[in-house]
Amino acid sequence: MFIQGDLQAVFDALFTVGAIDPVLKMDWAQITDEATKNQILVNTAITAINNCAGNRQQLVEKLHMFEPRVVNFIAVEVAREFAEFTSRSELH
């Protein structure tokens, strides 16, 4: 499942709640392994994020409701999707 809509809005919300800097210092392989083991939790969180339709205030509110590991899952997913978008854009 992918994050839909305004990826920048999700990134901005993650930044607002202070999730970006800590995740940059973490072991992404470990976060990915844990996310894989908790796929239902991840999918539920991504659905909740997608339901915000890019509304930054709603995104911040949702992120505050998630447990920290779920916020980490979302932050890594946003980073991956940004990287994929950038690599596709550079090919054209």
The pLDDT of residue 88 is: 73
What is the value of pTM for the model shown?
A: 0.88
User: For residue 91, what pLDDT is reported?
Assistant: 57
d(CA 44, CA 29): 21
Angle at 62 between CA 81 and CA 79, to 5 degrees: 15
* CA–CA gap between residue 89 and residue 50 (Å, rounded): 23
Average pLDDT over residues 16-39: 95
Domain range annotation of the chain: 7-91
- What pLDDT, in 10s, does the model give residues 43-80? 999 999 999 999 999 999 999 999 999 999 999 999 98
Question: 82-91, pLDDT tens digit by residue?
Answer: 888 777 766 5
The neighbour count for residue 46, using CB atoms within 10 Å, is: 19
Which residue is it, tokens 């090919």?
Answer: 91
